[in-house]
Amino acid sequence: MLNYPLELSFKIATMGTRVRVVDAPGRQVAYLRKKKFRLKEDVRVYEDEDQSRLLFRIRADRVVDFGASYAVSSPEGRPLGAVRQQGVRSIWKSTFEVSDPLGKKIGMIHEENPFIKVLDSLAEAIPFADALFFNPAYLVDLGGERVLRMQKERSVFESRFRLDRLGDFSEDEEDLLLASLMLVLLLERDRG
């Protein structure tokens, strides 16, 4: 199990997206690098920036990501589950369904307050405004219980999120949820 709270961060002005995950003592526990201009997402999450140890893999089931399902698997290819953005429902409030390896829905990731996300997106047009005023948060519900909360923190040259543990889950569920939240960051960054 990871040492919470976790910090998820990525630089704003880079080609491609690089998400770093650091635990409470400051140890890097996950690293993702997404290449630009891919037609179908196939993202690998490593333990650190050396990319020597693969933690999990995230693959889209189709080219268009609106309503796509993203399968999360272990390095050996064992399915951990999937995350899927809920199509029309996600236009106003980003909502993602999390399912187990058999495809059964086990949880949800959703914005705490969609209005804050709208303001955050609008403020990005004003230099430094989004870094100082609006901090959207995402909630993770698993089996009807709230287990994680991820909130954007104030920062200027990178986007930084704090992930707090609120409930209990297994190690496999933790891997699935961490991969899902990293994917949510990628999709939300692309969305604006």
25 assigned to some structural domain = yes
CATH of the domain at 117: 2.40.160.200
- Alpha-carbon distance of 107 to 48, in angstroms, equals 27
Amino acid at residue number 179: A
Half-sphere exposure of 44 (CA within 13 A, CB side): 12
pLDDT of residue 113: 79
1 assigned to some structural domain = no
pLDDT by position in tens, the chain (length 192): 899 999 999 876 556 678 899 999 999 999 998 776 555 678 899 999 999 999 999 998 876 656 688 999 999 999 999 999 876 554 557 889 999 999 999 999 998 876 665 555 555 555 555 455 567 889 999 999 999 999 988 776 678 899 999 999 999 899 999 999 998 888 776 654
**Number of structural domains, the chain?**
1
pLDDT of residue 114: 65
Range of the domain at 187: 6-191
The set of long-range contacts for 59-66, using a CB threshold of 8 Å and a minimum separation of 24, is 63/39, 65/41, 65/187, 65/190
* Cα angle: 111, vertex 73, 152; to 5 degrees: 25
Q: Go through 20-43 and write b for each residue having 16 or more CB atoms within 10 A of its CB, e for each that does not.
A: bbbbeeeeeebbbbbeeeeeebeb
Residue 44 CA to chain centroid, in angstroms?
A: 13
pTM for this prediction: 0.84
